[in-house]
Amino acid sequence: MISVIIPTYNRASFLDEVIQSVLNQDYFVRNSSSSFEFLVIDET
């Protein structure tokens, strides 16, 4: 399993762009069946 940790602070409007950017990386494109998780940490 791959974990992608995304720390953020008042940037909810950018989350879609960030997640799409990660999913467009070569690893995720070639290994679409592998399991992964996104952990979004709101540092408020």
Q: Which two structure tokens, joined as six digits, stand for 26?
A: 């070569």
Domain ranges of the chain: 2-42
Average the pLDDT over 4-9 and give the result.
92
Q: What is the mean pLDDT of the chain?
A: 86
DSSP letters of 7-31? Answer: EESS-GGGHHHHHHHHHTSHHHHHT
Rounded to 5°, the CA angle 25-30-34 comes to 95
* pLDDT computed for residue 41 by the predictor: 92
Q: Model's pTM, two decimal places? A: 0.67
* pLDDT-based confidence at residue 30 (cuts at 50, 70, 90): confident
Mean pLDDT of 20-29: 84
Mean pLDDT, to the nearest integer, of 3-29?
88
In the chain, the percentage of residues whose pLDDT exceeds 70 is 95
